[in-house]
Structure 1
Amino acid sequence: MISTYTTLLRTPSAWRFLTPGLIARLPYAMLGLGIVLLVKDTTGSYGIAGAVSAAMAVALSVVGPQTGRLADRYGQAVVLVPGALLHGISVAALIICAKTNSPTWTLFVTAIAAGASVPQIGSMVRARWVAKLEGQPLLPTAFAFESVTDEFTFVVGPVVATFLATGIDPGFGLAVEAVLTVVGSLAFAAQRSTAPARRPVTGTPHSSAIRVAGVKVLVGAFVCIGAVFGSIQVSITAFAEESGRAGLAGALYAVFAGGSLIAGAVYGAMAWRGTAQRRLTATFAALAVGTAPLLAVPNIAVMVPVALICGLALAPTIITGYTLVEGLVAADAKTEAFTWLTGAIGLGLAFGSTFAGIVTDEYGASPAFALTFASAAIGLVVVTLGRRTLVPEKRTVVDVTPVDAAPLALGR
């Protein structure tokens, strides 16, 4: 497994975009939880906190695919630079509004601006991998590596956000998020030599990736994955507070993401002989089974292993989804397609955090975990019913992850 990743990372110029990309992506996992912690501290309501975080996520999911489409057509730097600067300004405005007890609507406005301007670094990194490795067995490896990277950010990000919010100030976590996002995004945009070539504008209208039936199915499934993230994010925060250990919220969420990280690394190194469509159904089934025990967790000691097990199916599900979508769309819509999935996760996170916040305010943390299980179960239904649309008309990526005596392919 290690040799597989090593071979991938020897790809010429890869580190030029991976390093700034990691800096810019780490804050993504801090944003939603940072908003929840800040708004809960200033308003005293998980419902409002979850709704403001949801507004940010909805804006991200709606605007994100459009920025991905613009990046495919005009180049990544053209989209990244103004977007990163706007994001920094928006987050700063959100912190000021929360700290000055401004009207609640100002929290929503600034959160929407912050979500709409989130740089789509993960999708752009995947597009750069496609530009370098399209048609090669290492491409699924790159997708797995990116999913593991995503999970790494969700291990580190919530811990950092919680530590900064509870140890220093509730607004400090968001301030650090803004700085890292701006610095990392501008550095990433500067690496123009590794960016995909711009697709020339022709007289033929550009067809959106969302018009592909299989992409629609994957978007629906990824909304459910996002709802798992969102409901757990709010519910675990409330669970830790109810247990008298509010400072452990980020650590508990990191355990959940850590299970996903470990599973993603192992999943990507295994030789899979079945189709990716079947694997997606299997991983969603495992996710539903893994989230069920959350409903009955009595204390933090039990929550740690349950959260770890719960996270095991997440990265494999996301890896498989990204592998499938790459083969479903044309070359001039790769970034957009990846961004639709990222945006779908954001939209699901919005639904999950909103309803989990409402349920938590009324009934407590444990009942809110029912939303986590329901989200995973609905996702299973979606991919089961739509599995026939997930077969690409023309495959550009080898479906089997590793290749004998060659660099293994590690498929969020």
Structure 2
Amino acid sequence: MVATVAPTSTSPRPGYGQLLRTRGAWTFLLPGFAARQPFGMLTLSIVLLVQHTTGSYGAAGAVAATTGVAMAVCAPLAGRLTDRYGQGAVLVPSVLLHALSGLTLTWLALSHAPLWALFAVAVPTGASVPQIGPMVRARWSVRLRNSPLAPTAAAFESVTDEFTFVVGPLLATALCTGVTPAAGLVAEASLTLVGGLLFAAQRRTQPPVVRERRARAARGSAIRVPGVQVLVVAFLGIGSVFGGMQVSLAAFTESIGRPGLNGVLYGVFAGGNMIAGIVCGAIIWKATPRHRLLGAYTALALAASCLWTTDSVLVLAGLGLLVGVCIAPALITGYTLVGDMVAGGARTEAFTWLTGAVALGQAIAVTTAGQLEDRLGDGAGFLVPMAGTLFALLTLTALRERLTVHGSAPDPD
């Protein structure tokens, strides 16, 4: 049984420093960071490699989207199995399969294999993406149960996610454009393998699996909770921003003859996420989570709707920064809400529904934006984040009553 760690200070405003002094935290945070890189590197690495070997953003986006769809479909299943059997039992085979599939996809692309072969290997590559973020959140949930540090941990995890979106695309772009188009996927597979195995080895901080938890996980899925369904739609919209930005920025920088700017512009966008996440975690909010989510999402939809209106690098960088700043509060609040809505025996699965929704939204956006850029050009791919966020905002507004938390979910441990 993992002990619950009480905060070491009586400060009414627990901060990140206090959180990081939690016993055993660094043992899973460091390897977990390395193993999270698929989410930041995988899609863009595939887009850059396949576009290089086929000359088509549409084909590249479709292959990348296949990995995203496979991840979105399989992530909740992986989360459910994790709740039932434990993190190590699911994680070790996942990272082994992901590394093997990613390297195979790289070899096939460089060999100019038929497109159907790339699609076939993209499926296990996406399906086996390790769900490290939800696993880390589940470890925090157990160790900080009934602690005022729990909201700080939620913010910290969102900041960490955003940081991977800063480092991942920059690293993928630098490797694919500065070394070889295959270097991004090779590095991603290597980081996943090493980081995932080291993370799985940290057994002392894993959430325990007990009979009550297995029984609860077997009885019902977290997606049956109405509020989770609404949040899934919201996170689909967030995924549309990530996917649409990745393809559209790559197409834009290539159209002006400066492909190296792709990583910089995406880094500005992701940097806005990270900075806003840090600030959000340091604020004690008076507004309810539901109102915070609606406010943040309204701002996000408005900012995303402006992306397609400019062909200036500086204006696009400024708009990307603004979009990034708006995403972080929505992500943090969404994860906080789902943690309160779902009982501990299904919490990892609930987190993976949101992670999978981002992946699915990203997959749809990558495919759609790629087709728009191939056929229309002129930044048409930026219409995808606008459409995705506006649809999600309408859904959130119409079904906002489902986002009310009627008390803290019990933990069967």
Question: TM-score, normalising length from structure 1?
Answer: 0.94
Shift, 1:292, TM fit: 2.2
Pick aligned residue for 2:51 from 25, 40, 50:
40
Contact kept, 8 Å, 2:231 with 2:334, in 1: the verdict is yes
Number of the residue aligned with 1:395? 408
Gaps spanning 5+ residues in structure 1: where? 398-412
Contact kept, 8 Å, 1:235 with 1:365, in 2: the verdict is no
Contact kept, 8 Å, 2:216 with 2:345, in 1: the verdict is no
1:249 aligns with 2:257: no
Q: Partner amino acid for 1:245?
A: R
| CA RMSD, 1 decimal | 1.6
Q: Distance in 1 between matches of 2:94 and 2:337?
A: 28
Number of the residue aligned with 1:340? 353
Q: Partner amino acid for 2:99?
A: G
1:127 aligns with 2:135: no
- Aligned pairs for 1:289-304 (under 5 A) are 289-304=302-317
* Segment of structure 1 superposing worse, 303-312 or 339-348: 303-312
Q: Partner amino acid for 2:193?
A: V
Q: Distance in 1 between matches of 2:343 and 2:354?
A: 16
1:282 aligns with 2:282: no
Contact kept, 8 Å, 2:14 with 2:149, in 1: the verdict is no
Contact kept, 8 Å, 2:13 with 2:284, in 1: the verdict is no
- 1:19-59 Cα offsets, whole Å, 9 max, x none, are 10011113420100000000000010000111111100000
Partner SS state of residue 313, structure 1: helix
- 1:251-295 Cα offsets, whole Å, 9 max, x none, are 111110001111111112112111100110000001011112211
Q: Partner amino acid for 2:37?
A: L
Number of the residue aligned with 1:406? none
Q: Partner amino acid for 2:287?
A: G
Contact kept, 8 Å, 1:199 with 1:332, in 2: the verdict is no
Pick aligned residue for 1:109 from 117, 120, 138:
120
Number of the residue aligned with 2:90? 79
Q: What's the % identity of the aligned pairs? A: 52
Cα 1:67–1:323 change in 2 (3 A) is same
- Aligned pairs for 1:14-93 (under 5 A) are 14-93=25-104
Q: Partner amino acid for 2:137?
A: R
Shift, 1:67, TM fit: 0.6
Contact kept, 8 Å, 2:61 with 2:370, in 1: the verdict is yes
Q: Partner amino acid for 2:143?
A: K
Q: Distance in 1 between matches of 2:279 and 2:333?
A: 13
* Segment of structure 1 superposing worse, 301-310 or 326-335: 301-310
Partner SS state of residue 250, structure 1: helix
Cα 1:238–1:346 change in 2 (3 A) is same
Gaps spanning 5+ residues in structure 2: where? 1-11
Cα 1:270–1:366 change in 2 (3 A) is same
Q: Distance in 2 between matches of 1:331 and 1:393?
A: 16
Pick aligned residue for 2:185 from 154, 174, 177:
174
- Aligned pairs for 1:344-359 (under 5 A) are 344-359=357-372
1:237 aligns with 2:250: yes
1:197 aligns with 2:229: no
Contact kept, 8 Å, 1:8 with 1:141, in 2: the verdict is yes
Cα 1:226–1:179 change in 2 (3 A) is same
Number of the residue aligned with 1:324? 337
Cα 1:366–1:2 change in 2 (3 A) is farther
Partner SS state of residue 150, structure 1: helix
Q: Partner amino acid for 2:294?
A: T
Number of the residue aligned with 2:284? 271
Cα 1:365–1:163 change in 2 (3 A) is farther
* Segment of structure 1 superposing worse, 291-300 or 257-266: 291-300
Shift, 1:396, TM fit: 5.0
Question: TM-score, normalising length from structure 2?
Answer: 0.94
Contact kept, 8 Å, 2:276 with 2:325, in 1: the verdict is yes
Q: Partner amino acid for 1:186?
A: L
Q: Partner amino acid for 1:285?
A: T
Contact kept, 8 Å, 2:38 with 2:129, in 1: the verdict is no
